[in-house]
Chains A and B, each alone.
Chain A
Amino acid sequence: MIALLEGVRIALQAIWGQKLRSALTLLCVIIAILSIIAVVSVLDGMDLYVREEVAGAGANVFTLRRVDELKVLTDLQVFLDSLGNPRITLADWKALRAEMTLAEFVDPLRSRSGDLQAVRDGRSIRNVDLQGRGAEYPGIEDLDLERGRHLTQADIDQRREVLVIGAQVAETLFPGVDPLGQKVRLSGRHYEVVGVFARRSNVLGQDRNIFAILPLSALFAQFGSFRSISVQVKAKSLGDFAAALDEARTIMRVRHGLRPQDPDDFNLTTAEQFLTLWEKISSGIFATLIGVVSITLVVGGIIIMNVMLVSVTERTREVGLRKALGARRGMILFQFLVESVTLTSVGGVVGIVLGFAAAFLIGAFSPLPYSVKPWSIVSALVIVFAVGVFFGLYPASRAARLQPVEALRRE
């Protein structure tokens, strides 16, 4: 116990006695840990976002599409095969709406990109995401209104040329003016603004407010209805979700005249599939990150080892003397291990604090979200401690193995 205290004392004096060297070593460890923590918390933040925002909102929603674009990433052959699938038509939508018993809402969707111009003073906004929809989208997607109203069944049925616009569209086209009742030009036709959506938060630098919703019937009337649509279905409850999916599949197979052995020639996409894909992608990022982190830690460890070797060489005579006075191997080993572990641990703690500060700043001043998980603090500390022990062990055992006479003889 007394000898252990002495070991700690010697180690701290050694660190304090070489302020510049210790500071530089600490800096290396701090930078390594800081960058690791910052990257991990941003990645964690993205993960949290995807799970809550993307998956959470549409938990019991699925989408009928002609092809599943995500398959490009996961299964290219399936994707290529699905390119021959028949179109999903308005008739399919109507059939689903009429025949499904387990669906609460069924809404068609077709988007295209277009430029909008305020008729009033010619202000314009480019590349707006124009979503042709039915009247049931408010039940499916979380879209709050800032003012005005959503599309109604009458808008759809009568192909009214009306728009509900995103917050950024409203701000760009009608600064300081009430957009309700204003006319907007879309490829030569005039649409009337009947509603404005509440502002949505940006995600990953993407402004999710540059969009407008208009009756799909009006969109088709203007641009033609030759392309496939998709249909969003919200099941009555989460418990009905699987059954609703089956129901939609059966209806579509009957409509497409498929025999039992034929594969589906349409696609039913769930949030879960998206999540699965995200997990694949993020675990890929994580694996890469772990590789980078390992390299960083090894580099940091080598620096620590080097510093410790210098420290041992410098104090060879001191070690020889201590052994001559009765220090056992274990005590010398301990003394140098404490020195390296102290360097890495102090650097680690400072790095963790600064890393979270950096993550917080990134979260505050950039679109990247961040999140702090206790496990990452704990594992960072454990890893840093282990690096200190592992890379301190060789120099320390070299010191401990020194023969007293030889150590004392060295200059």
Chain B
Amino acid sequence: MTAPAAPQTAPSPAAAPAGAPAVIRAIHLSKVYELGAQQVRALDDVSLEIGKGEYVAIMGPSGSGKSTLMNVLGCLDVPSSGEYWLRGQEVSKLSEDELAEIRNREIGFVFQTFHLLARQTALRNVELPLVYGAVRADERRARALELLRQVGLEKRADHKPNELSGGERQRVAIARALVNRPALLLADEPTGNLDSRTGKEILELLDRLHGEGHTILLVTHDPEVGRRAARTVRVRDGRIESDAPNR
């Protein structure tokens, strides 16, 4: 089950397709939480490189730092130390507002608990990144509808989240994550709150998106889910334990 540990002192180019430009280059990333006198090393010297069009699964036991890694890569959180380059830009040096813009343009995030706005229709939820990207209303609507169509929910555009099933909600969330054509799709246990059949639908959607050229990072507990990706990164105690292509 455990693959041989990859070298951790340098970015591991092991699985990156040769010649493809790196979307993610993380160098010696650490994240330390201070809890009173105690220090929690949620990320401990993590180096990682992910190329364009890759589909990578991040696996590891609970509390190993998977979510922390995703949040740092998604610019939702800042590392305590280390460098993070996203599409050739050093993110760790950016201001708060520049980060907001990166999150808006470069990153689509899918959460385990969906995080849709309860009072808004599916369409409005999908439009939201475009609002903050200052896209005109008619174009917003057209693009949001197109994305809803791609996830098979064009008929549900005017439904509120509580009128949708869990799987449908997650598909709305995926449509929202993709609507601004991000360079990177991050999904932290996107099937964690769904039953296995609905979960499978979501995974099939992700497979399809990968086939269309999206770069995808997926956190999961489920080895079966992990096998769908082309490459698996195993995390334990905040360190990368192994990093290898699947089969």
Contact = CB atoms under 8 A, between A and B. Distances in A.
A328 B100 contact: yes
A205 interface: no
Interface of B: 71, 74, 76-77, 96-97, 100-101, 103-105, 109, 111, 115, 117, 119, 128-129, 131-137, 176, 180
Given A318-B117, A326-B100, A403-B77, A331 B132 contact: yes
A3 B97 contact: no
A321 B117 contact: yes
Contacts of A115: none
Contacts of B180: 326
A331 B180 CA distance: 19
A404 B109 CA distance: 12
B96 A326 contact: no
A408 interface: yes
A80 interface: no
Q: Which 4 A-B pairs have the closest CB atoms?
A: A326-B104, A326-B132, A404-B76, A405-B77
A323 B100 contact: yes
Contacts of A328: 96-97, 100-101, 132
B129 A325 contact: yes
A329 interface: yes
Contacts of B71: 405
Contacts, number: 64
Contacts of A323: 100, 103
Given A3-B132, A322-B128, A331-B132, 5 more contacts: A322-B132, A328-B96, A328-B97, A330-B97, A404-B76
Contacts of A325: 103-104, 128-129, 132, 176
A324 B77 CA distance: 10
A80 to B, nearest CB: 71
Interface string A368-411: 00000000000000000000000000000000000111001000
A330 B97 CA distance: 9
19 contacts: A2-B134, A3-B131, A3-B132, A6-B132, A317-B115, A322-B132, A323-B100, A324-B109, A325-B128, A325-B132, A326-B103, A326-B104, A326-B129, A327-B100, A327-B132, A328-B96, A329-B100, A403-B77, A404-B76
A403 B99 CA distance: 11
A2 B136 CA distance: 7
A2 B115 contact: no
A17 interface: yes
A2 B77 CA distance: 26
A222 interface: no
A326 B111 contact: no
Interface string A215-227: 0000000000000
Contacts of A20: none
Interface residues of A, number: 23
Contact of B134 (A3, A324, A330, A405): A3
A324 B103 contact: yes
A322 B103 CA distance: 10
A324 B132 CA distance: 11
B29 to A, nearest CB: 15
Given A3-B131, A325-B103, A329-B96, A405 B136 contact: no
A331 B97 CA distance: 10
Contacts of B109: 324
Given A13-B119, A405-B71, A326 B133 contact: yes
A404 B99 CA distance: 11
A324 B129 CA distance: 9
B129 A2 contact: no
A1 interface: yes
Contacts of A324: 74, 76, 103, 109, 115
Interface in A233-287: none
A318 B132 CA distance: 14
Contacts of A404: 76-77, 103
A325 B180 CA distance: 10
A6 B131 contact: yes
A3 B127 CA distance: 12
A41 B143 CA distance: 56
B70 to A, nearest CB: 10
A404 B129 CA distance: 15
A3 B133 CA distance: 8
A157 to B, nearest CB: 92
A13 B124 CA distance: 13
Interface in A297-350: 317-318, 321-331
Interface in A1-19: 1-3, 6, 13, 17
